Amino acid sequence: MTSSDGIPPPEVRTRILNMSSRRALISNERDTNALSHFDSTVTYDDHYWYIKPGKDENAGLYLIVSAYTGRALWANHRNGANGGDGEVGTYNPPGEYPDHYFDLAQTQGTGVRNKQFRLHSPAGNGNVFSRTHRKPELGCLSDSDKIYDDHWFTFEMEPLKFVRIEYDEQHPEILTSPRPKEIAQQTAMNHLDIETTQEVTISKETEIQSTFTSEVGLSVTASVEFSCGVPLIAEGKVGLSTTLDTRMSWGTTNITKQKWEAKVVLKCPPKSATICTASVVETRFRMPFVSYWKTEEGGKEVKLKGVYEGQSCASLSTVSSYGDYVAEKKKAENK
């Protein structure tokens, strides 16, 4: 199943984390209305939810169903409830009432709120909040009221096992045009009165910085690492490097090493210094991809869309030039 509009696929268990309180929503029947929130730095089974698309008259809306209790989240702003704040809770069976449905696709944040959502129930006329600075800590405000920081949530999917990645090689976005980048120099000195040839060896490592990020709204666990090749651009053509196949991290900057080696024969005029300069062509670009994962629970396949951004270094070349000649020092003679 592929993620849609930045919303987790329905087969994947997902934590719902509030950006202000740093609490995770949980469903447990010991709590009022079988709903509470808990420190998001630790994870328990009752932290997980399934985000299920609505059907028929609820198409375009979503049920948020606890993976632990099987109960659906609901929000309803009733006048006077909780001292003016609306009520929230979970209910079984899911979808029994209209206030079980949330318009997640319509409440995605932008700018600094990128990858964040509000839990808004159109039928319940309420936006869910999670806070710790005043009572009640959980509830909802009328959707005609102001939007506050504690209305914003993000999704964190359960740990996934990486399977493979497919780059859209037909649609790279060039961020910086190809340009030469000097990576090494070697100097050959000829102290003789005749022309000589000398072989110099270029051996240099360059760093490539890259990131793999998911589409808006989705967060893969920060510790996820995987191994894959990375795309390269050389002479206007896109290819996939298998020599750079290495361990990568998701959502953080990866640094990989690329080694360049060449042997160059230089013609060195008498009493001269000849410099060999090595350069590669560097391009920075973005490229869409689809990554394939499996859930830890049940091994279901999940497709996640995302964007690769990185540097491409290719086309090693060398040029020679004259440098400043330094005469060889003569050894002192013994008297």
pLDDT for 81 beyond 60:
no
Residues of the chain with CATH 2.80.10.50: 14-158
- C-alpha span between 25 and 101 (Å, rounded): 16
Residue 252 burial (CB count, 10 A): 13
CATH number for the segment(s) 161-323 = 2.170.15.10
pLDDT tens-digit map of 167-194: 999 989 999 989 999 999 999 999 999 9
All CATH 2.170.15.10 domain ranges in the chain, comma separated: 161-323
pLDDT confidence band for 38 (50 / 70 / 90): very high
The residue ranking higher by pLDDT, 208 or 95, is 95
Hey, which of 10-14, 49-53, 302-306 has the most confident mean pLDDT?
49-53
In this prediction, residue 223 carries a pLDDT of 46
Q: In this predicted model, what pLDDT tens digit does every residue of 211-225 receive, in sequence order?
A: 888 764 555 654 467
Q: Which two tokens stand for residue 320?
A: 């020679």
Taking Cα atoms as reference points, which of 323, 314, 322, 318 lies closest to residue 277?
318
pTM higher than 0.85: no
Q: How much is the average pLDDT of 267-288?
A: 94
Structure confidence at residue 82 as a pLDDT band (50, 70, 90): very low
Rounded mean pLDDT of 262-276?
A: 94
pLDDT, one tens digit per residue, over 217-247 is 555 654 467 778 788 887 778 877 765 555 6
- Classify strands 160-167 and 87-91 as parallel, antiparallel or unpaired: unpaired
pLDDT at 218: 57
**Tokens representing 334?**
């013994």
Q: What is the DSSP letter of 148?
A: -
- Report cis status (omega within 30 of 0) of the bond before 178: no
At residue 160 the predicted structure's pLDDT band, cuts being 50, 70 and 90, is confident
Q: Supply φ then ψ for residue 76, to 5 degrees.
A: -145, 120
Mean residue pLDDT across the chain = 87
> What is residue 220's predicted lDDT score, i.e. its pLDDT?
63
- Looking at the domain that runs over 14-158, which CATH code has it been given? 2.80.10.50
pLDDT digits (tens, 9 = 90+) for 104-123: 989 988 888 888 999 999 99
pLDDT confidence of residue 79: 52
Model confidence at 85, in pLDDT bands (50, 70, 90)? low
